[in-house]
Structure formats: C-alpha cells, structure tokens
Amino acid sequence: MQALHQYLPTGELSQLLHLPELAPVLWPERVQERRDVCVGMKRTRPSEGCVAMAEDALASPPPSVDYVRRLPVSVWQDLVIPLCPVDACGRLKITGPYVELHFSEKALLKRFDIARKRNQLEGLIALDPSIDAGSRYDILLRITYALECGDWRMWPSFLRLATCNGHLPQDRIGAGRPLILTADKVREAIPTRAAFTSTMPQRLAQFGLFSVFMTRGSRRLPREVRPSVYAEVMGFELTVYAEDELYHPYGDTVHPYQHTYSDEDPVCRRGEYMFPSCMAFLTWAAVSYRYCFIGNPSKAIATRREEPGCRKSHTFRHLSRLANPAKVAQWTTIEFLADYFHVCDDRRYNRVYVLEGHRPGETMAVTMHLGGNDHMAAIVSTEPKAEDHNQWWAAYPRSAAAANALTHDLCEPPMDANRFF
C-alpha cells in the first residue's frame, strides 16, 4: 500500500481502491490502517481530511474501463497482479488488452505452480494436458482459486495412502506419476466459488476435489446446510458437527474433542464412530476401512484382547499413551471414538497407526481399541506368512519389526511387541 503513492495521485488511488475485485485486498478496513496509508501517500502527518478522503473512497463511482486501461504497467506488475484474488482474474480479463496479457493462461499456470509447490503437492497433482484450449483457462481459474484459498499441506500423505490402498486409479497415479485433474472432474468438484467455500467445511470441500477420482463410489454435496452438515463422501454417510453440539446435554461436561475443534476441520461422525476432524475420518476411510472391512488380501496376523476385568492392566496402560501426537510424527495416526449412544458419549477410544508395508508402496496398520467393553490390539498386514513358524513374529518378520519399532519408541517404558501380542 505504501508504494502506491509512487504511481498514482490520491484521487486515482481512491478509484483503484474502489475496484470491486481489488478492494478486499488493497483496502484497509480499520481507520488507523487508513491513517497509515495516508502517511505513506502524502509523507505527512495524517489529517482528518485525509481520513475522510479514505473513508469516502468506497462511496465514489466505480472506475471506468478507460481508467483501468490507463493504469501504469508498474502498478499491475508490482501491486495488482500479485494481490488480486485469482477468481477475479476472469472478471478483470475483459477490461483491456494489457490486463488480458497478465491474466492470461500462462500467468494463471504460473500461479497454479506456485500454489501447488507451497502446498507440497508437486508430483501429486497435475492438469490434464488434453484439456481443450476453450476450457483450459476456466479449469485453471477453478483449481488455482481452490489451492490459493486454503491450506492443503496435509493432503500429500493422504494421497499417497489412498494410492497405496487402491482408492485412486492406478493407471493415473503411482510412483513418480501425478493424479491427473481432468476438466469434467474439476468442474464436478468445484462447480462454483460458493459451492467450494461455503457449502462444506474446508477439509471436506478440499476432499471433494480428490473424491471424484476415488474408486469407492461417488461424492455428493450436502443436501442442506445446517449446524449439523450431512454429506456423503466415498460412499460413506457423514455428519459434521458444530462446536456447540459437542457439549454434554445434561451438564457442564466438555466433550474431549472440543479442545481441538476447528471450523475448517470440524468433528464428524460416521455411524458409531466419531472422529476429531474431517481429515482424521478421510485418512481412516482411505486406509483403515480398507484394511479392516473390505475383503482384500490383508489380514489380522496378531491380536490381543483383554476383558473388562483387566481394564487397568499393565500393557494397556502403556498402550493408552500411544495417543500423544507429539510422539508419532513418523507414523500416520488416526484416533476416534466408538460412540454408541450420544454425540457426547466417549465409550471407547480407537487408534490406528499406519506404517510402511513390507513391500514398496504398501502400508500396514496397527489398530488399538481402548476402553468400553473390552481392550483389543491387532496388527493388520498383507505380508505372506513364512513357512514352519508358529510364533507370529517369526512368521511375519517385517510386520513384527515395524510393530516393535512403534511400541518401543512410543511406550514408556519401551514395550516388546513380540511379548505383548
């Protein structure tokens, strides 16, 4: 803002600030900020007249097309283009040849690459090169807007896990190959700006971009927008809760997930399972559900169960400490509640630890159910059983090594998984 005085007189600056596409990013909302802008423009102490000019700027008539065309090149290059929301590019494109040049497909592609790099999605997503010329600009607008308006940095690990477990087309994403964003899928996932930013919580809206590529069925937008949002993703019916719905209805008890509640990534429920965030559910859907409930070659190779009378046993007291997120940076961890009765009941904790599989590109899971009617821990793996071995750690050496690394690093004191299971 302080650099604008180098290019434009005060009157012309007022018109630029009134431009609808630029006002949200160039126009300060608080009076003190407006005073600071005036200081930068006039190099003098702010006066009441200067403040009045700034406050009246938005009430002035909108700038004409001729005015926009007369803006110096340096204003567009240094100020307008870097700050203008990408969804405004399409509207500004029609105002003149210079604007069209800098909001061209090439300029949008550069912003797409910058947003993809910032969100650590390089090598994981790419535009379909076969998109026809008439559609390419529109698709670039949609996907670049989506990438720029949210934080996507948690998605690379999700995409890799979904790929390992067969949820993404194997002919489109694999070792060194990105997920190809086709024109029809992008339009389905991002039909309009309002549908992307307002209809669903951000994590589910982002997931909509990827879920149309999932092989487990279709995704529907929520049927209605309510404090509890009902949606369907990957074939699962899902309920998303507002923060005030997590209070206990009969007292002052705070739900355990309220401490970490986020409007962008809220608490959600699928059937009897309640997840601390939409991202936790999506990761579970991509990994744990496939392991535990779909008839694929993976199987539980080692289990341990203790009845309610043993609820405070030594081993499960140690296992309960595995939920500390600070200790599981090297694992993908999913924690959720088995909630059979009410949104506020915390009957049983379930934790799934996703580890590297015994072959490149595979994953395995260590599932632990703590509390409620019983305690159970299991290792689920696709590793084939070695011949002539009765002990599980000898029959499944690679899975045993991964489970031992998990329990040894996270338990206090270190636990030997071979003796536990």
Same domain for 161 and 82: no
User: Is residue 197 a part of any domain in this protein?
Assistant: yes
CA distances from 237 to 108, 210, 230 (A): 36, 17, 7
| Per-residue pLDDT, 232 | 60
Query: pLDDT for 227-236, tens place per residue?
Result: 455 566 556 6
Return the SS3 of 192.
coil
Question: Do residues 208 and 192 lie in contact, with contact meaning Cβ atoms separated by under 8 Å?
Answer: no
User: Is residue 122 a part of any domain in this protein?
Assistant: no
3-state secondary structure 231-247: EEECCEEEEECCHHHHC
Same domain for 251 and 307: no
What is the mean predicted confidence (pLDDT) over 358-379? 65
Same domain for 66 and 41: yes
| Per-residue pLDDT, 26 | 46
For the whole model, what pTM was predicted? 0.62
d(CA 162, CA 146): 21
| Per-residue pLDDT, 360 | 63
| Per-residue pLDDT, 42 | 41
| Per-residue pLDDT, 250 | 52
Same domain for 84 and 48: yes
Same domain for 272 and 305: no
**Cis omega (within 30 of 0) on the bond before 227?**
no
User: What total number of domains does the chain contain?
Assistant: 3
| Per-residue pLDDT, 372 | 52
Say whether pLDDT at 41 is over 70.
Answer: no
User: Is residue 110 a part of any domain in this protein?
Assistant: no
How would residue 222 be classed by pLDDT, with cut points 50, 70 and 90? very low
Between residues 60 and 277, the one the model is more confident about: 277
Say whether pLDDT at 37 is over 60.
Answer: no
User: Is residue 54 a part of any domain in this protein?
Assistant: yes
Say whether pLDDT at 99 is over 70.
Answer: no
Say whether pLDDT at 147 is over 70.
Answer: yes
Element (H, E) at 16: helix 10-18
User: Is residue 207 a part of any domain in this protein?
Assistant: yes
By percentage, how much of the chain surpasses pLDDT 90? 0
Question: Do residues 152 and 119 lie in contact, with contact meaning Cβ atoms separated by under 8 Å?
Answer: yes
Say whether pLDDT at 1 is over 50.
Answer: no
How would residue 368 be classed by pLDDT, with cut points 50, 70 and 90? low
Same domain for 375 and 250: no
Please identify, among 247, 265, 284, the residue that sits at the C-terminal boundary of a domain: 284
Rg of the chain taking only CA atoms, in angstroms: 27
Same domain for 179 and 76: no
Query: pLDDT for 100-135, tens place per residue?
Result: 555 678 878 888 998 899 888 888 888 888 888 888
Same domain for 318 and 395: yes
Same domain for 163 and 27: no
Same domain for 205 and 71: no
| Per-residue pLDDT, 141 | 84
User: Is residue 119 a part of any domain in this protein?
Assistant: no
d(CA 224, CA 198): 12
Query: pLDDT for 293-311, tens place per residue?
Result: 444 455 667 766 665 554 4
Same domain for 364 and 259: no
Q: What is the span of the domain harbouring residue 231?
A: 136-284
| Per-residue pLDDT, 6 | 44
Please identify, among 263, 284, 305, the residue that sits at the C-terminal boundary of a domain: 284
d(CA 210, CA 317): 38
| Structure tokens belonging to residue 173 | 């994403």
User: Is residue 249 a part of any domain in this protein?
Assistant: yes
Same domain for 326 and 251: no
Please identify, among 251, 266, 284, the residue that sits at the C-terminal boundary of a domain: 284
What is the mean predicted confidence (pLDDT) over 1-8? 42
Most confident of 35-49, 261-275, 276-290, 304-318: 261-275
* Residue located via tokens 């996703």: 354
What is the mean predicted confidence (pLDDT) over 270-285? 81
